[in-house]
Chains A and B, each alone.
Chain A
Amino acid sequence: MSVAKPYESATSVGGWPLRLRLFIANYGVYIALLALLLAATVLTPRLYDVNTIAVVMRQASQLGIVAIGQTLILLVAGLDLSVGGIFLMTSIVVADVTNGRDELVIPAILIALALGALVGLGNGVLVTKRRVPPFVATLGMLVLVKGATQAYTKGVPGGFVPDILGIVNQSWFVLSIPLLLWLGLNAAFIFVLRRTVYGRKVYAVGSNIEAARLSGISVDAIRISVYILGSCLAVASGIVLTGYVGYVDRFIGTGLELDSIAAAIVGGTAFVGGRGGLLGTIAGVLIIQILSTMALLMGLDIEVQFIIKGLVILGAVTLYSLANVEA
Chain B
Amino acid sequence: MLRKLIYMLFILSLLLGTSLVSIGQDSAMVEFEITQEMVDASPYLQSVIPRLNQEYDTSEFAKDPPYRIALAAQGTSNAWSALFDAHAYWYVEHLGEDVVSEFLYGDAQASADIQVPQVEDLLAQEPDALILVPMGAAALSAPVERAMMQGVPVVLCASAVETDNFVTEVGTNLYAIGATLAQWLIDTVGEDGDFLMMTGIPGTSTSDIMEEGALAVFDSYGIELLDKQAGFWSPAEGKKIMETWLAQHGDEIDGIWSGGAQMVQGMISAYEDAEMSIPPIAGGEMQNGFLRSAIEHGFEFYAWMYPNAMITICLDAVIQILQGEPIPRFIDFVDTMPEARPFTDAEAEDYYRPRWSDDVHGPVTMPDEKLAELGFLVEEE
The answer to whether A296 touches B229, judged by C-beta atoms less than 8 angstroms apart, is yes
The answer to whether A254 touches B234, judged by C-beta atoms less than 8 angstroms apart, is yes
Q: Which residues of A contact B79 (CB under 8 A)?
A: 156, 158
Asked if B248 is at the interface of the complex by the 8 Å CB criterion, the answer is yes
Our pick among B237, B358, B376 for the contact of A251 (Cβ within 8 Å) is B237
Our pick among A51, A154, A246, A249 for the contact of B247 (Cβ within 8 Å) is A51
Q: Given that A154-B82, A154-B375, A155-B75 are contacting pairs, would A55 and B243 also be in contact in the complex, using a CB cutoff of 8 Å?
A: yes
Asked if B235 is at the interface of the complex by the 8 Å CB criterion, the answer is yes
> Whole-angstrom distance between the alpha carbons of A302 and B229 in the complex?
7
Asked if A200 is at the interface of the complex by the 8 Å CB criterion, the answer is no
The answer to whether B240 touches A155, judged by C-beta atoms less than 8 angstroms apart, is no
Q: Given that A156-B359, A158-B359, A169-B273 are contacting pairs, would A297 and B244 also be in contact in the complex, using a CB cutoff of 8 Å?
A: yes
Our pick among B226, B248, B374 for the contact of A52 (Cβ within 8 Å) is B248
Number of chain A residues close to chain B: CB under 8 A: 36
Our pick among A58, A158, A169, A303 for the contact of B269 (Cβ within 8 Å) is A169
> Whole-angstrom distance between the alpha carbons of A55 and B242 in the complex?
10
Q: Which residues of A contact B82 (CB under 8 A)?
A: 154-156
The answer to whether B77 touches A297, judged by C-beta atoms less than 8 angstroms apart, is no
> Whole-angstrom distance between the alpha carbons of A58 and B269 in the complex?
14
Q: Which residues of A contact B245 (CB under 8 A)?
A: 296
> Whole-angstrom distance between the alpha carbons of A63 and B250 in the complex?
25
The answer to whether B243 touches A245, judged by C-beta atoms less than 8 angstroms apart, is no
Asked if A49 is at the interface of the complex by the 8 Å CB criterion, the answer is yes
Our pick among B262, B269, B374 for the contact of A156 (Cβ within 8 Å) is B374
The answer to whether A160 touches B236, judged by C-beta atoms less than 8 angstroms apart, is no
The answer to whether B202 touches A302, judged by C-beta atoms less than 8 angstroms apart, is yes
Q: Which residues of B contact A247 (CB under 8 A)?
A: 235, 265, 269, 289, 358
Q: Given that A158-B375, A169-B273, A302-B230 are contacting pairs, would A250 and B78 also be in contact in the complex, using a CB cutoff of 8 Å?
A: yes
The answer to whether A51 touches B246, judged by C-beta atoms less than 8 angstroms apart, is yes
Q: Given that A156-B374, A303-B202 are contacting pairs, would A59 and B243 also be in contact in the complex, using a CB cutoff of 8 Å?
A: yes
Taking CB as reference atom, which chain B residue is nearest A160? B358
> Whole-angstrom distance between the alpha carbons of A49 and B265 in the complex?
25
Asked if B137 is at the interface of the complex by the 8 Å CB criterion, the answer is no
Within 8 A of B (CB), among A139-170: 150, 154-158, 160, 169-170
Within 8 A of A (CB), among B228-262: 228-230, 232-237, 239-241, 243-248, 250, 262
| Nearest-Cβ distance from residue B273 to partner chain A, whole angstroms | 4
Q: Which residues of B contact A160 (CB under 8 A)?
A: 358
Contact size class for B? 35 or more
- The contact string, 1 if C-beta is below 8 Å from chain A, for chain B 162-184, is 00000000000000000000000
The answer to whether B359 touches A49, judged by C-beta atoms less than 8 angstroms apart, is no
| Nearest-Cβ distance from residue A146 to partner chain B, whole angstroms | 10
> Whole-angstrom distance between the alpha carbons of A157 and B78 in the complex?
8
Taking CB as reference atom, which chain A residue is nearest B269? A246
The answer to whether A155 touches B76, judged by C-beta atoms less than 8 angstroms apart, is yes
Q: Which residues of B contact A51 (CB under 8 A)?
A: 246-247, 250, 274
The answer to whether A245 touches B247, judged by C-beta atoms less than 8 angstroms apart, is no
> Whole-angstrom distance between the alpha carbons of A69 and B74 in the complex?
34
The answer to whether A52 touches B235, judged by C-beta atoms less than 8 angstroms apart, is no
Q: Which residues of A contact B241 (CB under 8 A)?
A: 296
Taking CB as reference atom, which chain B residue is nearest A294? B244
Q: Which residues of A contact B250 (CB under 8 A)?
A: 51
Taking CB as reference atom, which chain A residue is nearest B243? A55
Asked if A244 is at the interface of the complex by the 8 Å CB criterion, the answer is yes
The answer to whether B244 touches A296, judged by C-beta atoms less than 8 angstroms apart, is yes
Our pick among A54, A155, A241, A293 for the contact of B77 (Cβ within 8 Å) is A155
Q: Given that A150-B76, A297-B244, A302-B229 are contacting pairs, would A245 and B236 also be in contact in the complex, using a CB cutoff of 8 Å?
A: yes
| Nearest-Cβ distance from residue A314 to partner chain B, whole angstroms | 22
The answer to whether A297 touches B289, judged by C-beta atoms less than 8 angstroms apart, is no
The answer to whether A158 touches B357, judged by C-beta atoms less than 8 angstroms apart, is yes
The answer to whether B232 touches A46, judged by C-beta atoms less than 8 angstroms apart, is no
Q: Report which residue of A156, A169, A250 has the largest number of chain B beta carbons within 10 angstroms of its beta carbon.
A: A156
Asked if B266 is at the interface of the complex by the 8 Å CB criterion, the answer is yes
Q: Which residues of B contact A216 (CB under 8 A)?
A: none
Q: Which residues of A contact B76 (CB under 8 A)?
A: 150, 154-155
- The contact string, 1 if C-beta is below 8 Å from chain A, for chain B 15-30, is 0000000000000000
Asked if B227 is at the interface of the complex by the 8 Å CB criterion, the answer is yes
- New A-B pairs, 6, CB < 8 Å, besides A244-B236, A297-B244: A46-B247, A155-B76, A156-B79, A169-B273, A251-B236, A251-B237
Residue ranges of A at the interface with B (Cβ–Cβ < 8 Å): 46, 49, 51-52, 54-55, 58-59, 150, 154-158, 160, 169-171, 241, 244-247, 249-254, 293, 296-297, 299, 301-303
Residue ranges of B at the interface with A (Cβ–Cβ < 8 Å): 75-79, 81-82, 202, 226-230, 232-237, 239-241, 243-248, 250, 262, 265-266, 269, 272-274, 289, 357-359, 374-376
9 interchain residue pairs of minimum CB distance: A155-B76, A52-B247, A251-B234, A51-B247, A156-B82, A302-B230, A296-B244, A169-B273, A55-B243
